Each structure stands twice: as structure tokens, then as C-alpha cells.
Amino acid sequence: MHFIPEDIDHYVVAHSEDEPELLQQLTRETYQKILQPRMLSGHYQGRLLSMICKLVHPKNILEIGTYTGYSALCLAEGMQTSGELHTIDINEELFDFQRKYFDKSDFGKHIHQHLGNALEIIPKLNTTFDLVFIDADKENYTNYFEAVIDKLNSGGIILSDNVLWSGKVLDTTFKKEDTSTPALIAYNKLLKEDKRVETVVLPIRDGLTISRKL
Ligand SMILES: C[S@@+](CC[C@H](N)C(=O)[O-])C[C@H]1O[C@@H](n2cnc3c(N)ncnc32)[C@H](O)[C@@H]1O
């Protein structure tokens, strides 16, 4: 869902950085071979992730929800040359696809894949992070926040994707079987109220929140 008129959206994309060739290839192959290709961050959000990461210039990055590796490669563009990017996904079928593209990039040796449930893997990561990107199952966003906050360095950034959930976060009449919407409503409230972070919600694509650890 786009929250701005389509013609403005096209203008914004046309006047932003082009999508690198490798990411165009990754996108094509994702659409050809992988289920739910719309999960991929895509050109505009990818350039935004890259730009934020270049501004923050983190040493260590944690990504929760790799999918086919698009956002990991965007984030890696802004990482310090001595940095490490750890990315977690529960779907083993994506592992080789991710590796192929990580190895085609300049960052392959610095990107570490973790296969499994992020809530089990995060406590075992023996490092601290300057930037965390949360983009996995929405029901666990609050759990991911609690799992990473003590591993985030002071001044570190948490980026949270899909926080507007196609606008459904405004809806108080969501269906009983919809567990994502109430989870995101609770998560957005937590980020606003938690004294450990300062937060700004960007109405970009499906909503992207930037939270900075105090
Ligand atoms: C929206 S996609 C990530 C998209 C990716 N960040 C990008 O922008 O290209 C969400 C991913 O989270 C993964 N996922 C869902 N639940 C998970 C869990 N409990 N632990 C780790 N990964 C999980 C899914 O397998 C899926 O690949």
C-alpha cells in the first residue's frame, strides 16, 4: 500500500538513486522462483535502508528476517569495512539463494546467515549491534525488541518495517484470526512510550520506524 498519491510516488522514485544491477537481478530471480516475492524490500525502500545505513555507518548490524537477502545487501552498503552483518531467517529453503547473492556482492565475507527461529538465535549472538532491522513475523516484534535492546549500543538504531500494516493499525475491528494487527498496534505504542528509545514513524511504503537507543 502507498500512502502518497501514485504520481508523487513515481516522481519520488524517479528522483532517487537507481537500483544497483545486482539487486535488480536478485529481484528478478525472487519473482521467478520464490513464493511471496512482495515481501522483498524493493528499489525505493532499499535505497532508503542503504542511505540510513550510510548515515549511521554501523560496525555491526543485525537483521531479523532475511528472505532472499535484498535488505541485507542494502544495509551492508553502509556498514564499516571491518563490520559484520548477522541475518536470521527461519526458512531453510532460502539459505542457498541468499548465499549466492551475498557472495556475488562486495560484502559476502562479512554477512553471516543464521537459520532458525530468531527468538532462539538472538540470545546466542555474542556481540553488540549499532543497527538492527526488524522485518520478520509481526506477532513477535515486541519480543524482538526486548531480545535486542540490551545488545544495542547506546545511540544505536532499530529500524522496524511494516509498522502501518497497510493502514490496518487504525482499525479497532480487526478479525479474531488477525494476530498481526494487534501485535503491531501494541508494538507501535511500546516504541512511543519506552524510555530506552526515541522514535519517529516514517509513512514510507508500509511504514518504517526509526528508533534510537538513548
Ligand atoms: C518480510 S520477509 C523479510 C524481507 C527482507 N527483510 C527484505 O526486505 O528483503 C520476512 C522473513 O521473516 C522470516 N521469518 C518469519 N518468522 C521468523 C522467525 N520466527 N525467525 C526468523 N525468521 C522468521 C520469513 O521466513 C521471511 O523470509
Asked if the model's pLDDT at residue 4 lies above 90, the reply is no
Q: Is the CB of 202 under 6 A from ligand 1?
A: no
Closest CA to 44 of 103, 100, 4, 98: 4
Q: How far apart are CA 35 and CA 32, in angstroms?
A: 9
Average pLDDT, the chain: 97
- Summarised one tens digit per residue, pLDDT across range 92-132 is 999 999 999 999 999 999 999 999 999 999 999 999 999 99
- Nearest by Cα to 212 from 64, 195, 146, 204: 195
pLDDT exceeding 70 applies to what percent of the chain?
A: 99
The number of the ligand 1 atom at minimal distance from the alpha carbon of 94 is: 27
Question: Which DSSP helix (H) or strand (E) runs through 101?
Answer: helix 95-104
Residue 35, pLDDT > 90, answer yes
Specify the pLDDT at position 176.
83
Give the nearest ligand 1 atom to 69 CA: 9
Taking the centre of ligand 1 as the mean of its atom positions, its distance from the CA of residue 36, in whole angstroms, is 11
**For position 51, what pLDDT does the model report?**
98
State the pLDDT confidence band at 1, using cuts at 50, 70 and 90: low
**Which range (135-149, 173-187, 195-209) has the least confidence?**
173-187
144 close to ligand 1 (CB < 6 Angstrom): no
With beta carbons less than 8 A apart as the criterion, state whether 141 and 116 touch: no
Q: How far is CA 205 from the centre of its chain?
A: 13
pTM for the model: 0.97
Decide whether any atom of ligand 1 lies within 6 Å of the 91 Cβ.
yes
pLDDT of residue 87: 99
Q: Each residue of 46-104: pLDDT tens digit?
A: 999 999 999 999 999 999 999 999 999 999 999 999 999 999 999 999 999 999 999 99
Distance CA 25, CA 79 (A): 22
Residues 181-195 have a mean pLDDT of 97
pLDDT of residue 97: 98
